[in-house]
Amino acid sequence: MEITKLILCVFLFVPLSILAQKKDAPNIIIILTDDQGYTDVGFNGSTEIPTPNIDRIAKNGVVFTNGYVSYAVCGPSRAGLMTGRYQDRFGFGRNPLLAPNDIDQGVPVEEEMISEALKNVGYNTLAIGKWHLGAHKDQRPLQQGFDEHFGFLSGGHRYFPEDWKLNDLTEIRSQNDGYITKLLHNGKRINETAYLTDALSREAVNFIKKKRKGPFFIYLAYNAPHSPLQATKKYLDRFPNIENKKRKIYAAMVSAVDDGVGNILDALDEMAISDNTIVYFLSDNGGPLHNGSNNDPLRGKKGNVYEGGIRVPFAMQWPKNIKAGQTYAKPVISLDIFATAAEYAGFTPKSKIDGVNIVPFLNAKSNETPHNYLFWRKFDQEKIGIRSDDFKLVKEDNGVLELFNVTKDISEKNPLYNKNHFNKLHNEYEIWLKEMLDPIFFGLLHNTEYSKSHPNRFLIKEE
Ligand code: CA
């Protein structure tokens, strides 16, 4: 009895959160690129843009050939990734505006982000790069479970330090001014001097070395290769044979990311922590093409619910638990990252999540399908998508519901007329839709309208 009491006392002095952490909880690194085409990685067949380091993740682990994100543009896709929930569950069906006075322009603070959940179970957490989940002072990375932050709050950023002319958000006067503000480091503006992509990679490597004892979580959100197209000579010189000017700069930007990924993987090796570190690589949406990206053979681009908008380059490694050199062809989605973290870090999600732990489906331990259905909705454009097994029902710009077998017809060229599949998918969508909210804020498409109705949008007194 006395011993029991003693044990209880000891436990009472240990924070509850640490108690919940699993033994050998893995480090977790999410490497997210921005607007990278499905085909523009070596592991999906690119020879024009070699990505030997990104390919290391695939070789060490698994390539998801049917890896999806939950939305076809940046902001909502990130909101889904970070919460593990379809972002329409909390009304995040648009790309948010840069409006730091407006707490509706971001992920509602009551939503639990993966960073908050991991911090609660004792992880050291770092967000790097693009945020785009709310610039309001209560919605920034340090307020959303990140111990440290290095990057910018807006939906994009210029890459050369000489372009960063604004000191902070009090100086912004338009949506795109977020692209030219100085970088933030733990709430303070800094004078960074490196090419942006290199700076982001450097910060990830430093954190890995500093926190090598783990467990740690790094959300590394490169804005490359999102526009503006800007690259340094070092990377441009690697592509003397690409004549198309855009494609050449794009390739250089992807190559800069690849170097960064190489440095990160090397740092994990040097610290001897690769074995129990989960590393994900994926893009936040498909290539928009205008930045020189390539989604072949997928139909469509960023913004589409055709495969070209939502199926992305996606790979994962975790040497300790995932057999190397795998290709996995059943549909998975970025929402699974949250669910997988919950299982191995040992936390219980606060709300209903939509992803699943994907690890049991790998290693041939399970022949079941991770998801019976995956759903997409673009509210303003009335676009929808439903995927189940090989089939996908899509409503795109033409406003017509079309059924495809995306395994046999990856380019979605030949609509099928199978009434059973059609009705089944559509019925499931209607059921899913009942749990979703319409957007709760005006998005990027309403920039002018929003500024008119919010004349104080850029009256920002202090950061
Ligand atoms: Ca994007």
- Over residues 202-247, the pLDDT tens digits come to 999 999 999 999 999 999 999 999 999 999 999 999 999 999 999 9
Q: Which residues surround ligand 1, an ion (CB under 5 A)?
A: 34-35, 74, 284-285
Which CATH code, of 3.40.720.10, 3.30.450.40, 2.30.30.30, 3.40.50.300, is assigned to 24-362? 3.40.720.10
- Return the pLDDT at 463: 86
pLDDT tens track for 234-291: 999 999 999 999 999 999 999 999 999 999 999 999 999 999 999 999 999 999 999 9
Task: Extract long-range pairs of 241-244: CB within 8 Å, 24+ residues apart.
Answer: 242/48, 244/292
- What is the percent of the chain where pLDDT is above 90? 93
Per-residue confidence at 17, pLDDT binned at 50, 70, 90? Answer: very low
User: Within its chain, how far is the Cα of 100 from the centroid?
Assistant: 22
What average pLDDT does the segment 9-13 reach?
47
End-to-end CA distance of the chain: 55
Which of 214, 239, 198, 261 lies closest to 30 in space, CA to CA? 261
- Return the pLDDT at 10: 47
Bridge partners of 188, per DSSP, are: 185
The two counts, helices (H) then strands (E), for the chain are 12, 16
Q: How far is the CA of 365 from the centre of ligand 1 (A)?
A: 34
Q: How far is the CA of 226 from the centre of ligand 1 (A)?
A: 7
Q: Could you list the active site residues? A: 74, 132
SS3 386: strand
Cβ neighbours of 438 (radius 10 Å): 10
Joined together, the tokens standing for residue 430 give 């209607």
What average pLDDT does the segment 377-406 reach?
97
The C-alpha torsion from 103 through 104 and 106 to 108, rounded to 10°, is: 90
Cα Rg of the chain (Å, integer): 22
Q: Given the DSSP bridges, would you call strands 326-328 and 62-64 parallel, antiparallel or unpaired?
A: parallel
Give alpha helix (H) positions in 156-286. 196-210, 233-236, 245-270
Least confident of 4-13, 174-183, 362-371, 406-415: 4-13
Is pLDDT at 299 greater than 80 in this prediction?
A: yes
pTM score, whole prediction? 0.95
pLDDT tens track for 19-33: 566 889 999 999 999
Per-residue confidence at 378, pLDDT binned at 50, 70, 90? Answer: very high
Domain ranges of the chain: 24-362, 374-450
Give alpha helix (H) positions in 101-179. 114-120
Cβ neighbours of 13 (radius 10 Å): 6
Query: How many angstroms separate the CA atoms of 137 and 109, rounded?
Result: 11
| Architecture label for domain 374-450 | 2-Layer Sandwich (3.30)
Q: What is the mean pLDDT of the chain?
A: 95
Q: How far is the CA of 21 from the centre of ligand 1 (A)?
A: 33
Q: How far is the CA of 68 from the centre of ligand 1 (A)?
A: 13
What average pLDDT does the segment 420-449 reach?
97
Is pLDDT at 1 greater than 50 in this prediction?
A: no
Q: How far is the CA of 398 from the centre of ligand 1 (A)?
A: 23
Is pLDDT at 7 greater than 60 in this prediction?
A: no
Is pLDDT at 145 greater than 90 in this prediction?
A: yes
Joined together, the tokens standing for residue 211 give 């926190």
Query: How many angstroms separate the CA atoms of 7 and 413, rounded?
Result: 65
Q: Do domains 24-362 and 374-450 have the same CATH topology?
A: no
Is pLDDT at 8 greater than 60 in this prediction?
A: no
